[in-house]
Structure 1
Amino acid sequence: MSRVVVAVGLLGCGGSELAVPEDMGQGAQEIVGGVEARPGSWPWIVSLQRGGSHFCGGSLIRVGSMQETDIVLTAAHCVVEGYAGVTVVAGAHDFSRPTSTQVAVRVERAVSHPQYNPDTTRNDIAVLKLERPIRIGGTCGEPAVPQRPNLSAVVSLNAALSVQAVCLPAVGAELAEGTMASIAGWGLTREGGYDTSSLLLQVDVPIVGDRALAKSYQSQGIVIDGPTMLGAGYAQGGKDACQGDSGGPLVVRSGTKYVLHGITSFGVGCGRPGLPGVYTQVSSFLPWIQARIAALSTVR
């Protein structure tokens, strides 16, 4: 995400109830307060890579009735400098141990929102068209693995890492302040760090109200656009997204499904007190997203 230092790219670590181990202390890897995601609990998340190196996240979305998609949602600031040589990697968990489920497809085209403003970070959203479709599961937003540890459930790693699209919210849908959301990514594990994580990390953060979010960033000289931006984080800080998590998903559980309400966009630092992460509010852009899908996707 944009962090100011600069503000581009939060540390998307997602997956709240998505699969947090019951004993979070045992084997938990800190990432601005996060833990390792359970393999397969984020089947829609993708890694944007250039030259084999991760630099941003994204989410696969369904484009029709077929069991495949060639469309990814991400942040505009991830591709504002071009998409030549950018590859989308789906079905990944640990980059140091790739599995047979991992698939890499080059980006054929990237379309950023026409009103994206890199100075204010407004309308920080882009649609990526892949060179070829990626096979996905038959539903959206329902991971193949249990959301919480279940000793009676045995799922092979390949089955767990099956690829799936995330669900989209209703047009204009808004989240109540305090709603718990989950973020995930392979970004930096601390502000000022140098290396991104090889493991997919996640963290839960509460939604911050528009008024409180605007007040938080007023001191930084940053204007928050309530209708198109979403805030999430704790007043005391400590849990957040960071550089390398930009473009990744902020999801909220609705019944058995997870819905993409936010795209990791920007923040000041990573996990600082009083400065929650800022996300692009997906529900405000659905007509534009659907129009781009109709114009770009070859899946019918």
Structure 2
Amino acid sequence: MSGVVVAVGLLGCGGSEPGQDPFEPVGHTEQQIVGGIEARPNSIPWIVSLKQDGSHFCGGSLVRVSNKEESDIVLTAAHCVYDGLSNATASAGAHDLNRPTSTQETVGVTRAVYHPQYNPDTTLNDIAVLKLDKPIKFDTAVTGACGQSSGMRPNLVPRLAGGNTRVPVCLPASGERVAENTMATVAGWGLTREGGYDTSSILLQVGVPVLGHQEVANSYRSQGIVIDENAMFGAGYQQGGKDACQGDSGGPLVVQGAQGYVLQGIVSFGVGCARAGLPGIYTRVSHYIPWIHTQIRSLSAVR
């Protein structure tokens, strides 16, 4: 499987250079959602922008670590941090990265722990936990809650009045599976087209249906890529046109649940972006719940 990475665009890592094979592994640059729309400001209040030396390179999600209304833990993709981090920060409450507002809070990332069985060749177990140097405080309106959004597009009935700016996302139950055709929402600041250089400073989102495993496995078999049903799933449209792209990596795919929006997927990889028959692949968060909780217990300073 060592040749797989050549065929796979890891979505945190940038577009290809002109004249190169479009599937060359690529370096960290900032990138975005294809076929999406601008998110309402603060409607995806768990998303964070991960930056290295001030440049956005991946997304992440703020999770609850205790009963306190603050967290120093972010979930992202292993491939975002596999090569190491220096001068990395996480910005919560952001919308336009070029125009920070008073709702935005940026803190340093002090530690990144990727899954011990992460395989950079097959992208299996593409999940990592980040420890922040100080906790990010949640909105007071979300006391004890998670996944609360006051205006995610399309116009879903808001659960809370007012604009939430920093809110933890809900985690799924261990082993939970999302039903085929369930609509999910992906968000990020990545590339707006495959091979492009146009990253979005504005947070974009796109709605994509979760696909059945067999359909996704068959699609990727032609590319020599094995889709592990326990560890990953696909979401998108057979005709393409809507997808995550480079720079969205590590960001959230959420599905509305009974308590709030649930982090069912982490943007992982794809062949190109928004191509017909090659949907985006997401890390299946529910497969890693015991590992996530173990990391939170050992890393978080919030008690």
Please list the CA deviations of residues 205-245 of structure 1 after superposition, one character each: whole Å capped at 9, or x if unmatched: 01111111110000000011111101100000000000000
Structure 1 stretch 253-262 or stretch 114-123: which is displaced more?
253-262
Give the structure-1-normalised TM-score.
Answer: 0.87
Matched, 1:142 2:144: no
Please list the CA deviations of residues 83-142 of structure 1 after superposition, one character each: whole Å capped at 9, or x if unmatched: 221100110001122100111111010000000000000000000000000001322101
> 2: CA distance between counterparts of 1:123 and 1:68?
27
On the 8 A contact 2:39/2:153 being kept in 1, the answer is no
| Matched residues, number | 277
Matched, 1:276 2:279: yes
The runs of at least 4 aligned residues of structure 1 exceeding 6 Å deviation read none
Matched, 1:243 2:249: no
Q: In the alignment, what sits opposite 2:270?
A: 267
Aligned alpha-carbon RMSD (Å): 2.3
**1:203-222 equivalences in 2 (<5 Å):** 203-222=206-225
Q: 1:213 to 1:82 in 2, by over 3 A?
A: same
> 1: CA distance between counterparts of 2:218 and 2:75?
29
On the 8 A contact 2:92/2:106 being kept in 1, the answer is yes
Please list the CA deviations of residues 67-97 of structure 1 after superposition, one character each: whole Å capped at 9, or x if unmatched: 1000000000000011221100110001122
Shift of 1:43: 0.3
Among candidates 166, 175, 178, match of residue 175 of structure 1: 178
Q: In the alignment, what sits opposite 1:15?
A: none
On the 8 A contact 1:39/1:161 being kept in 2, the answer is no
Q: In the alignment, what sits opposite 1:253?
A: 256
Higher relative contact order (Cα pairs below 8 Å, separated by 6+ residues): 1
Shift of 1:295: 0.3
Alignment gaps of 5+ in structure 2: 14-31
Q: In the alignment, what sits opposite 2:21?
A: none
Structure 1 stretch 290-299 or stretch 47-56: which is displaced more?
47-56
**1:58-207 equivalences in 2 (<5 Å):** 58-137=60-139, 138=143, 139-145=145-151, 160-207=163-210
Q: In the alignment, what sits opposite 1:27?
A: none
On the 8 A contact 1:3/1:269 being kept in 2, the answer is no
> 2: CA distance between counterparts of 1:146 and 1:287?
29
Counterpart AA for 2:130? L
Counting aligned pairs with the same residue, the percent is 62
Counterpart AA for 1:210? H
Q: In the alignment, what sits opposite 2:56?
A: 54
Alignment gaps of 5+ in structure 1: 12-29
Among candidates 8, 25, 33, match of residue 10 of structure 2: 8
On the 8 A contact 2:237/2:279 being kept in 1, the answer is yes
Shift of 1:5: 5.8
Q: 1:252 to 1:284 in 2, by over 3 A?
A: same
> 2: CA distance between counterparts of 1:193 and 1:3?
20
Q: 1:6 to 1:194 in 2, by over 3 A?
A: farther
